Structure 1
Amino acid sequence: MRGQVLGVDVRTGHGLLAGDDGRRYTFLPEDWAPAGEPAIGQTVDFETSDTRALNVFPLPAVPAPAVAPAPPALPVSDRNKYVAAVLAFFLGTLGIHRFYLGRNGSGVAMLLLSLSMLGLILTGPWALIDTIRYLMMSDQEFAARYARHPR
Structure 2
Amino acid sequence: MRGQVLGVDTRTGVGIVTGDDGRRYSFTPTDWAHRGEPAVGMYVDFETSDNRALTMFPVPGMPSAQTAPAPAVPDNDRNKYVAAALAFFLGTLGVHRFYLGRTGTGIAMVVLTLSVAGLLVSVPWAFIDMIRYLVMPDREFATRYARAG
TM-score, normalized by length of structure 2? 0.53
Separation (CA, whole Å) in 1 of partners of 2:132 and 2:70: 27
1:1-151 matched pairs, under 5 angstroms: 72-150=71-149
Task: Report the Cα offset of residue 126 of structure 1.
Answer: 0.2
In the aligned structure 2, how far is the partner of 1:89 from the partner of 1:143? 20
Unpaired stretches in structure 1, ≥5 consecutive residues = 1-59, 62-67
Two-structure CA RMSD over aligned residues (Å): 2.7
Counterpart AA for 2:105? S
Q: CA deviation at 1:74?
A: 3.0
Change in CA separation of 1:135 and 1:71 when aligned onto 2, cut-off 3 Å:
closer
Quick one: structure 1 residues 148 and 116, their matched pair in 2 at CA, closer, same or farther if it must change by over 3 Å?
A: same
**Partner Cα separation in structure 1 for residue 72 and residue 91 of structure 2:** 32
Query: CA, structure 1 residues 126+72, in 2 after alignment: closer, same or farther (shift >3 Å)?
Result: same
Task: Report the Cα distance in structure 2 between the residues aligned to 1:96 and 1:86, rounded to whole angstroms.
Answer: 10
- Report the identity percentage: 64
Q: Which runs of 5+ in 2 are unaligned?
A: 1-20, 23-66
CA distance in 2, matches of 1:76, 1:85: 19
For residues 77-125 of structure 1, the C-alpha deviation after alignment (integer angstroms, 9 at most, x for no partner) is: 1000000000000100000000000000000000001001111110000
For the Cα contact (< 8 Å) 2:97–2:105, is it kept in 1? yes
Structure 1 segments of 4+ aligned residues over 4 angstroms from their partners: 68-73
Letter in 2 for 1:141: E
Aligned length: 91
Distance in 2 between the 1:87 and 1:123 partners? 14
Compute the displacement of 1:70 (Å): 8.4
Deviations 1:8-32 (A, max 9, x none): xxxxxxxxxxxxxxxxxxxxxxxxx
